[in-house]
Chain A
Amino acid sequence: MRILLIEDDTTLGAAVRDQIAADGQSVDWVTRLDAAGDAMRGAGYDLILLDLMLPDGRGIVFLKALRARGDATPVIILTALDQVSDRIEGLNAGADDYLVKPFDLAELSARIGSVARRYSGNPNPLIVHGPLQIDLAARSIHRAGKPVALTAREWALFEAFLARPGQLFSKPQLEEKLYAFDSEVESNTIEVHVSRLRKKLGGAIIQTERGMGYRLGKP
């Protein structure tokens, strides 16, 4: 999953970026609304974390503009404005969730997961896929009752497939989900991760469409 973080406080921004990266998602962090606009023109995002008070404007205006042009990207507001009236305004403007500072990073991860799941059409974090029992909230997988350990990158990739069960993903699309702008992408990274996933979860878990990309295998 590729996430855009818009936060002007560098201490908090760095910690949030590290947390999201540690969860295996790719994250782009900007500190201004105009930079956020540029980033959105350059890449597609699965989720936006939006601070409300930014040096070049109010996040709520950005959110309203986003919704006004029909962009349905999930948005979680991160804000120091704790008043109920602010929160109601934020939710009415089209935010999917609202996190008041200071928050727990674990809670942030959980909210990101829950919002993303809701967007994928299955808010239930427990998924059964063939012999696999997947708990998206706990980030755990059991294969035929036995736990399977995935690295953060593997998780992120697998999550992307789970979020759109029938969809065909091209290699660049998958790379985008794994890396932020500034990360180096090696040419065979996706192949390596796919092969590891197949090894851990079963050969049929990901299908290859030759020359086009990958999709989630039938259970």
Chain B
Amino acid sequence: MTLPRSLQARFALSVGLVLTVLWLLAATVTGLIVRGELDEVFDSALQETAERILPLAVTEIVGRDEDEVTQRLAPIRAHDEFFTYVIRDPEGQILLQSHAADPAAFPAYDGQGFRQTATHRLYSDAVLSGTIRITVAEPLAHRAAVARSIRMSLILPLLVMLPLALGGIVLAVRVSLTPLRRFRARLDARSARDLSPVPAADLPAEIAPLAATLNGLLARLRDAFEAERSFAANAAHELRTPLAGAIAQAQRLGLETTETTTRTRAAEIEATLKRLTRLSERLMQLARAEGGRLRMDDSADLRPVARLVVEDLARTVAPGRIALTLPETEVLSDIDPDAFAILCRNLIENALRHGADAAPVDVTLTAEGQLIVANEGPVVPPETLTRLTARFERAQASSDGSGLGLAIVAAIADRIGSEVLLESPRPGEATGFRASVRLPADGPKPSRAR
């Protein structure tokens, strides 16, 4: 048998079981002791009866006129006889017997003392050189009934007390586990991004170390997240400056040289460095998306961020390539603005890279906080669509992307409890591609009257 998983049930069950066994053991031992005492009392009563009756019977029998007559003493009042007796002569002839005595229950006389048959307990004695012999019998059933009623009186309260005791145990265990339940509820109620210590001052001594360990773990986790976040930021910074220097030098080399081969080589170096820049940037973004805290304590308007990202990207492409639609009202969200910018940037870059060259990329942020990036282009087959958010996955093998853009978007979406919806063709049309993410938005705030 396996123990139940609940500590409370385990406590209640084990304590209850031990209590029941002990109680039953105590009852059994008490029963046995009482039974022994009972036998002693009954035996002595048996012997006493015999010794009382015998002298009277002797007087009676000796003063009798005729011999060889069995006299049955009539009862004074009708009653059950627990003790019956016969008085016999040496030949076994019954001289006197009690009114309910059954001669068949009395075996032949075989000396003074206690005997026992299958049904009766007997005591025999003799006087006048053994010529008058008495045997008193008591049915064993009588003793058994008495013992049974004593046993019952021992067990009956048990039947009432045990459930009460078990209930009491369950209640006591439940009460003493209340702090633990409260601790669990506190832990349960917090959001995934809350790594602050759980208050554990009221916990029992046995559980307190566990809570301390948990809080230590939370603290380490928090530090690790923080370290990862600052690593991503620092590494990006540390990588950018030397890369910028190398790219700028390569560009200067290309501009200053008059030799075609040198210019070609400089361009190759530049292209490689730019690819390296893009890749390291994406890896940092991915590290940030997975490690950092993506929800802030305060909400901020997402529109300026979207505007900044679009302005930035618009500089690198033909005018009118990106069409941004923003709502009139603020779009308040507690998502980290930088995470939102990474999300935006990757979706737009993805659309620019894979969409049709001539058609604009439509970037829409709704008042409810949904970011939609749609572009014209060939239909992406559904099986490719499901693969797109996997890392290092490109729609076409020839594509020059890092293959991380949508994976980063998916990682951020996952961390903010949302998901990226990829659709192709774009809804309501025959071609194109649409990606959308629902952001944690506060929703339109009711305007406060002043």
Residues of A with Cβ closer than 8 Å to B?
9-16, 18-19, 22, 53, 80-85, 87-88, 100-107
In the assembled complex, B273 has its CB within 8 A of some CB on chain A: yes
Residue from B233, B241, B251, B255 whose CB has the most chain A CB atoms within 10 Å: B241
Residue in B237, B252, B308, B337 whose beta carbon sits within 8 Å of that of A80 in the complex: B237
- Can you pick out 29 interface pairs between chain A and chain B where the beta carbons lie within 8 Å of each other? A9-B244, A11-B245, A12-B241, A12-B248, A15-B245, A15-B251, A18-B252, A22-B255, A80-B236, A80-B240, A81-B237, A82-B281, A83-B338, A84-B305, A84-B309, A84-B341, A87-B308, A88-B305, A100-B240, A101-B243, A101-B244, A102-B246, A102-B247, A104-B247, A104-B251, A105-B251, A105-B252, A105-B255, A106-B251
A123 shortest CB reach to chain B, Å = 15
Interface size of B in residues (CB-CB distance below 8 Å): 31
C-alpha spacing A202/B194, complex, angstroms: 72
Residue in B245, B304, B309 whose beta carbon sits within 8 Å of that of A12 in the complex: B245
A170 shortest CB reach to chain B, Å = 33
C-alpha spacing A80/B177, complex, angstroms: 54
Known: A102-B244, A103-B248, A104-B251. 15 other contacts (CB 8 A): A9-B242, A9-B244, A9-B245, A14-B249, A15-B245, A15-B249, A80-B237, A84-B308, A84-B309, A84-B341, A88-B305, A101-B241, A101-B243, A102-B247, A102-B248
Residues B237 and A53 in contact, CB atoms below 8 Å apart: yes
In the assembled complex, B98 has its CB within 8 A of some CB on chain A: no
Residue of A with least CB distance to B316: A107
Known A-B contacts A87-B308, A101-B240; A19 and B338 likewise in contact (beta carbons under 8 Å): no
Residues of B with Cβ closer than 8 Å to A?
233, 236-238, 240-249, 251-252, 255-256, 273-274, 277, 281, 304-305, 308-309, 315, 337-338, 340-341
B108 shortest CB reach to chain A, Å = 116
Residues A11 and B308 in contact, CB atoms below 8 Å apart: no
Q: Nearest 6 CB-CB pairs, A to B? A: A11-B245, A15-B248, A80-B240, A101-B244, A102-B244, A12-B245
C-alpha spacing A88/B309, complex, angstroms: 11
C-alpha spacing A104/B309, complex, angstroms: 18
Residue of A with least CB distance to B253: A15
Residues A85 and B338 in contact, CB atoms below 8 Å apart: yes
C-alpha spacing A3/B370, complex, angstroms: 44
Residues of A within 8 A of B341 (CB): 83-84
Residues B308 and A102 in contact, CB atoms below 8 Å apart: no
Residues of A within 8 A of B256 (CB): 18, 22
Residues B241 and A88 in contact, CB atoms below 8 Å apart: no
Residues B337 and A19 in contact, CB atoms below 8 Å apart: no
C-alpha spacing A97/B315, complex, angstroms: 13
C-alpha spacing A11/B315, complex, angstroms: 26
Residues A88 and B248 in contact, CB atoms below 8 Å apart: no
Residues A102 and B243 in contact, CB atoms below 8 Å apart: yes
Residue of A with least CB distance to B344: A84
Known A-B contacts A84-B305, A88-B308; A11 and B246 likewise in contact (beta carbons under 8 Å): yes
Residues of A within 8 A of B241 (CB): 9, 12, 80, 101
Residues of A within 8 A of B337 (CB): 84-85, 88
C-alpha spacing A80/B277, complex, angstroms: 12
C-alpha spacing A21/B308, complex, angstroms: 30
Residues of B within 8 A of A14 (CB): 249
Known A-B contacts A101-B240, A102-B240, A102-B277; A84 and B248 likewise in contact (beta carbons under 8 Å): no
Residue of B with least CB distance to A14: B249
Residues of A within 8 A of B309 (CB): 84
Residues A83 and B244 in contact, CB atoms below 8 Å apart: no
Known A-B contacts A82-B240, A83-B338; A19 and B252 likewise in contact (beta carbons under 8 Å): yes
Residues of B within 8 A of A87 (CB): 308
Residues A84 and B245 in contact, CB atoms below 8 Å apart: no
Residue of A with least CB distance to B277: A102
Residue of B with least CB distance to A19: B252
A184 shortest CB reach to chain B, Å = 21
Residues of B within 8 A of A101 (CB): 240-241, 243-244
Residues of A within 8 A of B236 (CB): 80, 82
C-alpha spacing A138/B209, complex, angstroms: 72
C-alpha spacing A189/B243, complex, angstroms: 38
C-alpha spacing A12/B249, complex, angstroms: 7
Residues B273 and A102 in contact, CB atoms below 8 Å apart: yes
Residues of A within 8 A of B308 (CB): 84, 87-88
Residues B252 and A12 in contact, CB atoms below 8 Å apart: no
A66 shortest CB reach to chain B, Å = 23
B245 shortest CB reach to chain A, Å = 3
Known A-B contacts A82-B240, A102-B277; A11 and B255 likewise in contact (beta carbons under 8 Å): no
Known A-B contacts A81-B237, A88-B304, A101-B240; A16 and B248 likewise in contact (beta carbons under 8 Å): yes
A165 shortest CB reach to chain B, Å = 28
Residues A19 and B244 in contact, CB atoms below 8 Å apart: no
C-alpha spacing A13/B248, complex, angstroms: 9
Residues of B within 8 A of A103 (CB): 244, 248
Residues A80 and B244 in contact, CB atoms below 8 Å apart: yes
